[in-house]
Chain A
């Protein structure tokens, strides 16, 4: 498409689009990643936006960012540092400069570097005149004026003209990476179908940006990133939250049940409720409750009444659901509780990621109150683990906690679309009309009781939060019975371990260092370990998805390596949990609490240090 002097092949590239909340950076980033995915690259993305919807314009607090990483090999993270930063205003430059690689490219909208905006961003002088940026390939483009110039002969109003300036920068970046414009053009046509003027305007600006970059030779060379070697199949992009919602719907369809979700909006879990609410066509019932307590309680009611019931939340909401979660354990009703973790405690960092609800998930209830805890680790495998959570809940008649986090919930990646026929079957232990029903009689394998759905003739029975007599289910205060029931509640959750896969280990059995992780840190851990292995280092990774109970091979895996290091975005909750279970293993730790994911760089540094230790 373009004639450039020099072509540089790159394995992978990281681009960060940033600007004011209203600058359309999320859309710009999504367009670039979709186009790259269509081109055949592997892609991972992460949006980073302020907690305030309308944070003060032009300030660092109001900067909205979108980072994407694409490559011709497997891409597992949105990347630590950017090859290209797009900064639509001084605040965006200020907030993001530290994330640009040395000698990376920075595209700024020069028009926005006014005295007023510089002041709002907290700059004393204009950084564009500064020596500090001389190490970068700085491209100053008058994006606002050029956009206005491009559209001056159209009948578009000033506001619409200004709004389309993100297309100019997108056009520029498309040229730099030799990407076709068709996908975005089609997208514009679809999105603004009702406003032909806007369609035309946006397309003109997109092309103007593209041609501008060519004219000024924005780069002395052309980057090219070849398509990745990806498994054959039909793909789509998916965020973790969408994949979670879809995984839950898939459970209901597979089990032949209706899906009910009682929930209360909370960042970063809200999109799951929204996605489910949009799926009335698949019969999904969503109930936006008055609070998280009602969210889980309506779901427990729905479960009692025979629906596949779920409730979705984030940390503070999980705290509110605590008492009712105990009721679900006591009544042994199937239920999936999704907790999309965010920075805590209290309101904490609502839009930022963390893994600090692990102990709350495992232990945070009154009484001896075990329930399975499992964790997804990438945006797309939220589908798989939501499915697994639902299958365990229904087949074992128990509430299950599914942990995800803000990073994978909002992050997106291409996903090879599964076929419903390929998903494992779900067998629900219903009691049937004519059964001699006893609420707490159990099967011998899973120790699951039977589910007698109201409306079924002859199975009338009462359940509740009071301790129940073994088998018959009548209220019982008999001391020995409480021991028996406590033991059963514990044992039946332990037996879930008989139905889950072993934890896989990437690397050799005799690797000196075993990296242990769980949940959403997978991308960074796997990249760091893979890169060190490529350098010949003796290192392996065991990444856990099944937290409670742990996979059966856990002990063997932990014991066979000389050094074990547990990495997590909290103060060491998983490490502490493993210590309690495996007292003869010495666990090193790497932890971070900044509301941010790990960087591959810092992980490699830490692992190298551990490898060198005697």
Chain B
């Protein structure tokens, strides 16, 4: 929507503070959700869209309390159904800028069906997926993204379930925009939300989020000062996939079709050998490889992993209505009532 935003409205001059509601924020101190809230408010202020054009729609979970903290139109719906409700909001009023908020349980367990179908339809909205690999609100049960073996209240002997990689699910549903951030990196999260809002269609922004109470340290390797540079790769379209504390590590594609981490300067590897990120590649293969990397074997890919242009659902919907209206002789209900076979009783 950023195009319309920038064109059709006079500058609105909002600051992040304008998006803060009068409600006290109730997340646990130290919860990663605070950082995301910050990022969203910053991004919204930067979008130059009047406040009344935003609708923030969430499901149920700690993260889904989000709308109450935003001074915009907001809808805290029911567990798992936020993507469906948001799809209806956008179809009803395509002028609105939709931010949809879900936890990993909300979007991928109870709401998995709505999540993949929203993506498949490509409804223009930005879905913030708060991935803390746990059910926070219900106090610590494993989620569809919990690592196998994890001990939680409902897996006292370790989970025996294989976790989802959310990106895999999204790409399987033909996702056109997938980005990943980490709660502590407010600058990156803000940038990604802006990019997601600008993208027409369903944009998924997975935020690796820390639940200090029930799954503290789930993402330590990429948040810890000591290790983070070695275990995260921030992707930029058109730039080489280089990372590491010393910026000397990179990715190349092996002959077996797998990504390989290499060190520049070793075995004759030069910067020129490192892959260049093409977020706009319609073929999802590389996006799949990148989004599936996990630490410590690989760096975790952050940034915009995939951003491919396509028409959105509601654009097509509006166009179809226009096309049919242009050729139909039925212009109002009275026309319809009197169309087809009728007869008069005198």
Contacts and interface: CB of A to CB of B under 8 A. Distances in A.
Interface string B71-91: 111111110010011111111
Contact of B88 (A253, A302, A458): A302
Contacts of A37: 343
A433 B320 CA distance: 31
Contacts of A461: 73-74
Interface string A268-281: 00000000000111
Given A294-B114, A297-B114, A234 B344 contact: yes
Given A280-B325, A281-B330, A301 B344 contact: no
B12 to A, nearest CB: 11
Contacts of B334: 419-420
B246 interface: no
A569 to B, nearest CB: 30
A281 B21 contact: no
B28 interface: no
- Residue with the greatest number of chain A CB neighbours at <10 A, chosen from B23, B114, B331, B337: B337
Interface stretch (B46-54, B248-256, B262-270, B280-288): B46-54
Contacts of B328: 280-281
A302 B89 contact: yes
- Chain A contact patch, size range: 35 or more
A462 B55 CA distance: 9
Interface string B308-346: 000000000100110011001011111011101111111
Interface stretch (A88-96, A395-403, A449-457, A495-503): A449-457
Given A231-B345, A457-B50, A463-B75, A304 B89 contact: yes
A234 B342 contact: yes
Contact of A301 (B50, B88, B317, B342): B88
Interface in A262-321: 262, 279-283, 285, 287, 289-291, 293-294, 297-307, 309
A297 B77 contact: yes
Given A458-B52, A460-B51, A249 B336 contact: yes
Contact of A455 (B53, B75, B343, B344): B53
B68 interface: yes
B239 interface: no
B52 A300 contact: no
A435 B242 CA distance: 55
Contact of A309 (B73, B75, B92, B338): B92
Nearest to A298: B88
A456 B338 CA distance: 37
B118 to A, nearest CB: 9
A301 B345 contact: no
Given A235-B342, A262-B88, A279 B336 contact: yes
B96 to A, nearest CB: 6
Given A249-B333, A454-B52, A457-B50, A290 B92 contact: no
B344 A306 contact: no
Nearest to A453: B93
A291 to B, nearest CB: 6
Contacts of B93: 305-307, 453-455
A464 B89 contact: no
A417 interface: yes
A176 interface: no
B68 A462 contact: yes
A293 B81 contact: yes
B344 A235 contact: yes
A54 interface: no
A34 B340 CA distance: 12
Give the interface centre of A302, A456, A462 by most chain B CB atoms within 10 Å.
Answer: A462
B57 interface: yes
A294 B81 contact: yes
Contacts of B51: 460
A418 interface: yes
B202 to A, nearest CB: 14
Given A250-B333, A302-B88, A304-B85, A285 B317 contact: yes
A455 B78 contact: no
A419 B84 CA distance: 36
Nearest to A232: B345
A295 to B, nearest CB: 8
A454 B341 contact: no
A172 to B, nearest CB: 23
Contacts of B220: none
B341 A237 contact: yes
Given A454-B93, A463-B76, A234 B338 contact: yes
A466 interface: yes
Nearest to B110: A293
Q: Which 4 A-B pairs have the closest CB atoms?
A: A301-B88, A464-B76, A298-B88, A281-B328
Interface of A: 34, 37-38, 40, 230-237, 246, 249-250, 253, 258, 260, 262, 279-283, 285, 287, 289-291, 293-294, 297-307, 309, 323-324, 326-327, 331, 416-420, 453-466, 474-475
14 contacts: A234-B338, A236-B343, A260-B88, A279-B330, A285-B317, A294-B81, A301-B75, A304-B55, A305-B92, A327-B77, A420-B333, A462-B68, A462-B75, A462-B76
